[in-house]
A = this chain, B = another copy of it.
């Protein structure tokens, strides 16, 4: 089946949007160690902000709806960033990345996508403004963190 040029152009535009959403940074790293430093930094910042929301969900920190929403939004923003920073050759050096990231790219991409989806749900849940809405969304994000660490981090 042959698509009309205009339809093909639409497909191209949609694909461009998707890749842009998944990789907003148009990441460029001169050296593998730059990519490693960047992705670790992005994950550190993401972890700090998600951690603040998780602390509220678990009762380790007092619930503050505004702070929960702000931290969730930041964690979601950060969740989009690390994935462009796993270029070929960045499996060596100061990194705990397992080789499976490069040998099973499809599964790694799926895990990265899953995290971003759950993070966007967390932002929505945090905006509801109740602990009851927050808790299951935090648990879902936590599950994706653990799953990815189990499979792709030494």
Contact = CB atoms under 8 A, between A and B. Distances in A.
Interface of A: 20, 24-28, 34, 37-38, 40-42, 44-45, 48-49, 52, 61, 64, 66-67, 70-71, 74, 77-78, 81
A21 to B, nearest CB: 10
- Interface of chain A, helix or strand or loop or mixed? helix
A19 to B, nearest CB: 12
Contacts of A81: 45, 74
Given A28-B52, A38-B48, A74-B77, 13 more contacts: A24-B70, A25-B52, A25-B71, A25-B74, A26-B52, A26-B67, A26-B70, A27-B48, A40-B41, A41-B45, A41-B48, A42-B45, A45-B78
Contacts of A44: 37-38, 41
